[in-house]
Amino acid sequence: MKNKPIPAQIEFRDVTKIYGQVAAVRNLSLTVGRGEFLTILGPSGCGKTTTLMLLAGFEAPNRGDILIAGKSVAAVPSYRRDQGIIFQSYALFPHLTVRRNLEFPLEMRGMRAAERAKRVDRILERVHLDDFGGRLPSQLSGGQQQRVALARALIADPPILLLDEPLGALDRNLREQMQGEIKGLHKEFGITTVCVTHDQEEALTLSDRIIVMRAGRIEQTDTPEALYDRPATRFVASFLGEANILENPGFNVETDAAQPSGTVAMLRPERIWVAAPAAPKRADANNRQSVSGTVDDMIYAGPLRKYHVRVGSSLLVVREPVASGQQIFRPGDEVRLDWLRSDLRFVTV
Ligand SMILES: Nc1ncnc2c1ncn2[C@@H]1O[C@H](COP(=O)(O)OP(=O)(O)O)[C@@H](O)[C@H]1O
Ligand SMILES: [Mg+2]
């Protein structure tokens, strides 16, 4: 069965936000479908937080309009927008217990005490903090505080959840655990989610769709896999993962089709095989380019090894998963690199 198009829950129409001389967000148009998990990804200062602040109603656009469920929210104050929010700076109330922190949004909505208590119990259980209701935020670890923040954002069943770098402060293991948690909650509640982050891994693992932003504008929008596999621009290719940009590489780059003008060839490091010069060649001979090079550097990174290999005037990055019985190369070793021409991508400069 084909998916029906999801009705847009959130829409930005040509939105611009200017701070003094800086256009933090420029002519931004985007839609988020009901139940979709959209991530806005980009480097620091590209306008991610501003976009979220506009959506939350903490800032107003200079031009353009924002619609939620088809209606302009220009005149709707932030506390009426019915959104759960986790901002980096949107900390828990330090003087209130976990329970009181969670009750607060419900109290604001005029919910009765008995119903509030029931909801708090339920969400505490859901984020595995049943025994922590009586603690103050300062008596919790960073990860536990983050889970309370998540619980507080979700407790009033908002149709929209906004996350600003929600996992930035956590160490790697906790981050992965929380990613799983957020993903699970999103699936369970089907809540329309807009997340902003500069962390590509977070974006790739969590999102239905990613918008890559650069200097206040959208650079590319796509599913995680399409974005990684078919980046449209050099910026996206290099921001999302590692990219070998073959611009004047000092050797002939073989291509099947003519290279579109204004583009450069790009090859992902994991698409290159490294082998001893005389080793049998891999893969389809009709679709293969082989070049000779010299290992400049080898970096061991647990499950994979990264080689820097000098070919012509280029230093190519090659990633090889560590496997039993494979040959390991050292700086100075002569090697042959093979790749498939069909793995080359052309990205605009
Ligand atoms: N309140 C503000 N006053 C002036 N400039 C701001 C303000 N908020 C953000 N900016 C500027 O707008 C740009 C985008 O900022 P921001 O949206 O916070 O980026 P990001 O979240 O992607 O790091 C930056 O150049 C930043 O300095
Ligand atoms: Mg930010």
Structural domain ending residue among the three candidates 238, 265, 288: 238
258 and 308, same domain (yes or no):
yes
Query: Whose alpha carbon is nearest atom 12 of ligand 1?
Result: 24
258 and 191, same domain (yes or no):
no
Measured from the CA of 52, which atom of ligand 1 is nearest?
17
Sign of the Cα pseudo-torsion (239, 57, 121, 148, in order): positive
Domain-located, residue 179: yes
Pick the closest to residue 152 from 79, 233, 93, 214 (CA basis). Answer: 93
46 in contact with ligand 1, CB cutoff 6 A: yes
204 and 324, same domain (yes or no):
no
234 and 282, same domain (yes or no):
no
234 and 294, same domain (yes or no):
no
Pick the closest to residue 151 from 171, 121, 175 (CA basis). Answer: 121
**CATH number of the structural domain spanning residue 339:** 2.40.50.140
* Domain total of the chain: 2
311 and 289, same domain (yes or no):
yes
Structural domain ending residue among the three candidates 238, 269, 297: 238
In order of 118, 153, 267, 270, 319, the CA distances from 329 in angstroms are 61, 51, 21, 16, 12
CA–centroid distance, 342 to ligand 2, in Å, is 37
Q: What pLDDT tens digit does each residue of the chain (349 aa) get?
A: 445 555 679 999 999 999 999 999 999 999 999 999 999 999 999 999 999 999 999 999 999 999 999 999 999 999 888 898 888 655 799 999 999 999 998 998 899 999 999 999 999 998 889 999 999 999 998 888 888 998 998 898 889 999 998 887 777 887 888 888 888 889 888 899 999 999 998 999 999 999 999 999 999 999 999 999 999 999 999 999 999 999 999 999 999 888 899 999 999 999 999 999 999 887 688 899 999 999 999 999 999 999 999 999 999 999 999 999 999 999 999 999 999 999 999 999 8
231 and 267, same domain (yes or no):
no
**CATH number of the structural domain spanning residue 122:** 3.40.50.300
Measured from the CA of 42, which atom of ligand 1 is nearest?
22
Tell me the C-alpha distance between 81 and 160, whole Å.
9
107 and 170, same domain (yes or no):
yes
Tell me the C-alpha distance between 347 and 349, whole Å.
6
Domain-located, residue 139: yes
Tokens representing 59 are 């800032």
Q: Which domain holds residue 114?
A: 8-238
14 and 28, same domain (yes or no):
yes
Structural domain ending residue among the three candidates 220, 238, 256: 238
47 in contact with ligand 1, CB cutoff 6 A: yes
